[in-house]
Amino acid sequence: MLEKIRYYLSLVLTSILLYSCIQNKNSNKIQITQPTNKTNTNTILKDTIKLAIESDSNFYKTEIKDQYFPEKYEENTIDTILDSKENLRISITKKTLMNKSVSFSHTSKKSTTSVFHFRDYSSEITVYKSNKILFNRTFNKNDFEQIGDENFLNQAITLNTWVQEYDKQSKIIKIQHVIGVPETCWSYHFTLFIDKDGKFHSELDEIR
């Protein structure tokens, strides 16, 4: 943009100098006279700058494109039989939170700004024993007191929840739960424990 203004100004100044030299030559005077009409000179300069701006007006136009991940509501459930003899099974349902998301933007060289909205999820865990509910709870990213970083929580979503293992001797279910910032490696990894009586606690395994 500035290069164009400099270019047009150089043309105007060159024209003014040439005009002055021609006038001097015609009057047989060895001097460079300044233009007598200052108003006309200012007008020319203003018109030059205006022309440069108008010719590059697209520079000021920024197109904004919004993209949502996922675009529509999703709900996925995975049922796992932990012990057929005990008639013990677990169900994990991942649901899209349509009204909660984190956003990141990127502006290209063509002045197009893409805004990426990553919707958050909830994870509902239900444990059944002999077709009766032993444990049921829905987890969101703000439910873990081990995360003391508000900056992280403002950028993170629930990424995934899955069964890690079931110890038949201790009768403890271990579940992996990950909360992280989309498109990065920044994440908190938890192990969720549910015992034979339906009691629950969580432990922070690592921060990546």
Instruction: Kindly report whether the peptide bond that precedes residue 35 is cis, defined as omega within 30 degrees of 0.
Output: no
Residue entry with tokens 């018109």: 47
If we measure between CA atoms, which residue out of 43, 86, 102, 113 comes closest to residue 173?
A: 86
Average pLDDT of the residues in 87-111 = 89
Res. 9 pLDDT band, cuts 50 70 90: very low
Strand partners, 156: none
Can you tell me the mean pLDDT for 179-202? 96
Summary mean pLDDT of the chain: 81
Whether the Cβ atoms of residue 181 and residue 155 lie closer than 8 Å to each other: yes
Q: Read off the pTM.
A: 0.68
Give yes or no for a contact between 184 and 172, defined as CB atoms under 8 angstroms apart. Answer: no
Q: Given this model, what pLDDT does residue 65 score?
A: 84
Mean pLDDT of 141-148: 94
Contact 128, 134 (CB under 8 A): yes
pLDDT confidence band for 200 (50 / 70 / 90): very high
- For range 50-68, the mean pLDDT: 64
Angle ∠(80,81,85) on CA atoms, nearest 5: 170
**Which pLDDT score, from 0 to 100, does residue 142 have?**
95
* pLDDT class of 182 with cuts at 50, 70, 90: very high
- Asked whether the predicted pLDDT for residue 60 surpasses 70, the reply is no
- Using an 8 Å Cβ cutoff, are 140 and 158 in contact? yes
104 closest CA partner among 119, 117, 92:
117
